[in-house]
Amino acid sequence: MTKFSDLALSPKVLKAVEAAGYETPTPIQAGAIPAALDGRDVLGIAQTGTGKTASFTLPLIHMLARGRARARMPRSLVLCPTRELAAQVAENFDTYAQNVKLTKALLIGGVSFKEQDMLIDRGVDVLIATPGRLLDHFERGKLLLTGVQIMVVDEADRMLDMGFIPDIERIFSLTPFTRQTLFFSATMAPEIERITNTFLSNPERIEVARQATASETITQEVVLIKPSRRDRAAKEKRELLRALIAKDGDACTNAIVFCNRKVDVDIVAKSLKKHGYDAAAIHGDLEQSQRMKTLDSFRDGGLKILVASDVAARGLDIPSVSHVFNYDVPSHSEDYVHRIGRTGRAGRDGKAIMISAPADDKNLAAIEKLIDKEIPRADNPIAAEEKQKKADKPKTDKPKSEKAKADKPKTDSPKSDSAPEPTQDADRNKRGKRNGRGRDKDVVGMGDHMPGFIAMSFDERKAS
């Protein structure tokens, strides 16, 4: 079995790894670290929670240990899709570079430009950034990328997808073509992979698991819901979420609830808090300080339920998340793999439960096609409870109307064979009563009862 000591890392890096409690590298680390140390471009594909961050931070620290950065010219660049992931990568560098004199800067939104400018002016060995804030600094003339020796793109499929491509292309154009490039992700769709070929030169492809697979330690379930009425759909869906959380009881030590829309994140978080759950929201519209405070509280165990948009789905390493609830079926099937990858990390057991309405059938089918298996259907606890109530309900007597009808004495004598047949006039009278006219006789026509003045001529009427 490969050990970190077999990967040709420097003693100072190995000492930090040992202090962090790691002895054996994961498959993605064992494959990517030697290739990176050899100066090769790397395309790493592995499940979430398998240690991809260390796959580039360790060789990066090793290679940058010698040399010194110049002002405003970072020696390496790590691009991340979200502020939270960028901050987590920075924490990893602090952990593994504790025995090496390396400087770093974190460029993310929600933080003062002035503080970031001061760090860049001193010169940084490692620059960790989100694309938008990086380009902001460049356009202000505070940053040059011509000194970048190593460039890392974390969560590459997300960075290249959903509108990030123009920013990525521009950033790459600002770096030297001689740079070494490392791409890492849990998923890599064919169309996205073709784009990476324009950025990578003869890369070493490290694929330790079939693309878009989830860890075998994660129990996956989907619960089907059919709203009773359209205007009650959202309310009934929130009721089902609470029932699912309550169903697992103490086994649900903490959980992340994923929603597709930011507005639903706030609504679901408020609903859970209203019903006594310890929950808080995190999404892109919140202040960065609030987002980090909420995330730190969840990571430290002070918060039990984190309701999040996909800002928290990518790459965040929160080791002991027991449950992931997909309140909404992801519209992009790859996001499902990233979301449920927040649980079952590093060999731990985890549970992922998804709520699916009839309108989600198409997206659910796309997810099952991507992961190449059918997600087991679980019982809807609310529907099961209502069904049980109906089964337990005692049988009641006949309705009053039926009972009264049955108890009514029969006063009419049976018809005799000699009884006269009803006449046509009698039938008409009965029909008249049924129609509400209440007449006992036929309607009298004109005939002999016609008033005399009607039969008079015009002259006779005039004379009278």
What is the side-by-side order of every strand in the sheet holding 305-308?
279-282, 305-308, 255-258, 323-326, 350-356, 218-224, 377-378
Q: Is residue 450 part of a domain?
A: no
Question: Same domain for 170 and 310?
Answer: no
Q: Is residue 418 part of a domain?
A: no
- Domain count along the chain: 2
Question: Same domain for 138 and 225?
Answer: no
- Estimate to the nearest angstrom the gap between the alpha carbon of 232 and the chain centroid: 21
Question: Same domain for 284 and 314?
Answer: yes
220-234, 378-392, 417-431, range with the lowest pLDDT: 417-431
From first CA to last CA, the distance across the chain in angstroms is 132
Final residue of a domain: which of 335, 367, 385? Answer: 385
Final residue of a domain: which of 342, 365, 385? Answer: 385
Question: Same domain for 356 and 378?
Answer: yes
In this prediction, residue 451 carries a pLDDT of: 65
pLDDT tens across 282-302, in order?
987 888 788 888 988 998 899
Question: Same domain for 13 and 135?
Answer: yes
Question: Same domain for 139 and 232?
Answer: no
Mean pLDDT of the chain: 84
Question: Same domain for 49 and 17?
Answer: yes
What distance in Å separates the CA atoms of residue 327 and residue 196, rounded to the nearest whole number? 32
In this prediction, residue 259 carries a pLDDT of: 95
pLDDT tens across 444-457, in order?
555 556 666 666 66
> In terms of residue numbers, what domain contains 75?
4-207
What distance in Å separates the CA atoms of residue 55 and residue 53, rounded to the nearest whole number? 5
Averaged pLDDT for residues 375-403: 72
Question: Same domain for 235 and 377?
Answer: yes
Question: Same domain for 222 and 202?
Answer: no
Q: Is residue 241 part of a domain?
A: yes
pLDDT tens across 90-135, in order?
999 999 999 999 999 999 987 889 989 999 999 999 999 999 999 9
Q: Count CB neighbours of 348 within 10 A.
A: 15
Question: Same domain for 127 and 249?
Answer: no
Cβ-contact 220, 288 below 8 angstroms: no
Q: Are strands 150-154 and 218-224 parallel, antiparallel or unpaired?
A: unpaired
Q: Is residue 447 part of a domain?
A: no
The domain that holds 46 is classified in CATH as 3.40.50.300
Question: Same domain for 191 and 287?
Answer: no
What distance in Å separates the CA atoms of residue 338 and residue 50, rounded to the nearest whole number? 12
Final residue of a domain: which of 346, 366, 385? Answer: 385
Question: Same domain for 162 and 267?
Answer: no
CA distances from 224 to 8, 264, 322, 358 (A): 51, 19, 22, 8
